[in-house]
Amino acid sequence: MQLTSTAYLVFLAAAFFLYWLLVRWRLARLALILLANYWFYALWDLSYLALIPTAGLLDYLAARGMAATRQPLLRGLLLLLSLAVNLGLMASLKFLPVWNSQWPWLLPLPLSFYCFQALSYTLDVYRKDTKPTSSLLAHLTALSLFPTIIAGPIARPASLLPQLEKPKPLDALEGSKALFLIAVGAIKKLLVADYLAENLVNRIFDFPTLYSGLEVLAGVYGYALQLYFDFSGYSDVALGSALLLGIKLPQNFNMPYAANNIAAFWQRWHISLSTWLRDYVYFSFPKLRTAYMPHFALIVTMVLGGLWHGATWNFLIWGALHGLGLSACRAWQAWRSGNTWNSPLSRGLATFWTFHFVCLGWVFFRATTLENALTILQQISSLTLSAANLSGTLLAIAALAVLGHCWPQKSYEKIQNAFAHAPVYAQAAILALLAYGIEYVAATGSAPFVYSQF
């Protein structure tokens, strides 16, 4: 069940009304959200009803055990149990069916984002950064929150548990902002990302030799926009869905292509994953007093991040590119004492080259094989300039996408507040027109979210 489907909106509406009817009773509201979570999983496959509660129970017991003992060896063994459960679950659902085609099963959701959330909880307890909850019901509910399960954002249980235990009343203003987020997410996904994918990106990457160098370059730019609007659109729908239940999730995107260095890009792109990798992978490396250790840790962290997307040469190269880029950026900032770009021109050029470095990585990220990626780059280097396959409508959608990405945050918030303060009938009319427009333009339905495969 995709988050932009009519079925999901009906499901969300049912969960919303029942939740606020039961909100005064702690056990009832937690049980309802947990039931909604597991119902959502079951719609994908009934096998999740065995996997997720079992993994959640083991994490709960491991966290409670780590808090109850001071023995380093026992605490380490309990942490290893949690690591084995979650990494094993992630690997078995994600990689084993790919590595061995004889495996008779392939579940539709890899559960990576569930495992990231679960590991953040047990690692925080192990590091004594948070205390474990005594409520198994709250624990299972926080780990499996349905808006985040397909593609995040990674919501750490340490921040979710207090919100589940003591929810804040949902006023009309917050509810309207939630609906606005869901509407914006649907626009991003259905009217921008899917259009670019269907009319440009898929064609270019599937048959690059049929297009000129200029058209292939446009396809790479198009994929950069498609991926951003697909993923940030999902995040908007997830944030809005959770907000309807009184839960605030972390922001996941902040104009990433406006970054003027690769480190700033990762502070703006998939923020919940980049901070997760920083906190639980990069900071786990031994703090040796050597100038090379931070650079080594950065490269290894990003390579692991690349291989998480898939055990292929393409993703390894993508991760290594970003690791080397981050290492070079760190060295440059250390040399310049953090004062890197002093003029608008230098900042503009830095943003230009950062964006193209990211696009180079996206070629390997999107290409089906290493040979496909090299063919894409070869076609671009041919410098052929035909634009016969770039229609005016396509260019207009791409221009609107660029404008949407660069839209100032303050202006966006003003529009959101204007919608939230509008009369109910005006909000309903806007949403109805939007639904009609989406149905008209995206009549063939929504393609799966890109990150649902990870």
pLDDT, residue 445, reads 60
Report the number of secondary-structure helices (H) and strands (E) in the chain. 21, 0
pTM for this entry: 0.91
The one catalytic residue in 139, 270, 295, 309 is 309
pLDDT of residue 236: 94
Average pLDDT over residues 374-396: 92
pLDDT of residue 115: 92
223: which 2 tokens? 């994929």
Higher per-residue confidence, 331 vs 266: 266
Segment 288-328, tens digit of pLDDT: 556 678 888 999 999 999 988 888 899 999 999 999 999 99
d(CA 454, CA 66): 30
The answer for residues whose C-beta is within 8 angstroms of residue 321's C-beta and 6 or more apart is: 357, 360, 361, 364
Question: How far apart are the C-alpha atoms of 210 and 375, rounded to whole Å?
Answer: 11
CA 264: distance to chain centroid? 17
Q: How far apart are CA 136 and CA 366, in angstroms?
A: 40
Closest CA to 12 of 265, 258, 242: 242
The answer, yes or no, to whether residue 14 has pLDDT greater than 80, is: yes
> What is the reported pLDDT for 363?
97
Please give the pLDDT value at position 288.
59
pLDDT at 119 (0 to 100): 94
Which distant-in-sequence residues (6+ apart) come within 8 Å of 62 by Cβ?
A: 78, 79, 81, 82, 122
Amino acid residing at 363: V
Whole-number pLDDT of residue 92: 80
**Does 383 score more than 60 pLDDT?**
yes
CA geometry: angle 55, 270, 136, nearest 5 deg: 25
Q: Which of 94-98, 143-147, 209-213 has the lowest mean pLDDT?
A: 94-98
Average pLDDT, the chain: 89
Alpha-carbon gap, residue 57 to 297, rounded angstroms: 32
d(CA 19, CA 12) in angstroms, rounded, equals 10
Residues 440 and 192 sit within 8 Å (Cβ to Cβ): no
Question: Has residue 435 got a pLDDT over 80?
Answer: no
The predicted pLDDT at position 101 comes to 54
Mutual angle of helices 48-68 and 136-143, in 10-degree steps:
120
How confident is residue 168, by pLDDT bands cut at 50, 70 and 90?
A: confident
- What's the pLDDT tens digit per position in 237-264? 999 999 999 999 999 999 999 999 999 9
Count CA atoms closer than 13 A to 157's CA, side-chain side.
32
Task: Please report the DSSP string for 364-383 in residue order.
Answer: HHH-SSHHHHHHHHHHHHT-
Give the whole-angstrom CA distance, residue 204 versus residue 197.
Answer: 10
Nearby residues of 275 by Cβ (< 8 Å), 6 or more positions away: none
For residue 114, report the phi and psi dihedrals to the nearest 5 degrees.
-60, -45
pLDDT at 439 exceeding the cut of 80: no
pLDDT of res. 443: 54
Per-residue pLDDT, 310: 84
Mean pLDDT of 403-408: 91
Higher-confidence residue of 347 and 57: namely 57
What's the pLDDT at 219? 95
**Residue bearing tokens 């923020």:** 271
In whole angstroms, what is the distance from residue 341 CA to residue 48 CA?
Answer: 50
% of the chain with per-residue pLDDT over 70: 94
The stretch 338-352 carries a mean pLDDT of: 79
Task: State the pLDDT confidence band at 74, using cuts at 50, 70 and 90.
Answer: very high
Is 309 tagged catalytic? yes
* Sequence-ordered list of residues with C-beta below 8 angstroms from that of 23, at least 6 positions apart, any chain: 29, 167, 246
The confidence score (pLDDT) of residue 301 equals: 94
Mean pLDDT, residues 389-408 taken together? 91
Give the model's confidence band at 380: pLDDT under 50 very low, under 70 low, under 90 confident, else very high.
Answer: very high
Handedness of CA 390, 393, 399, 404 (dihedral sign): negative
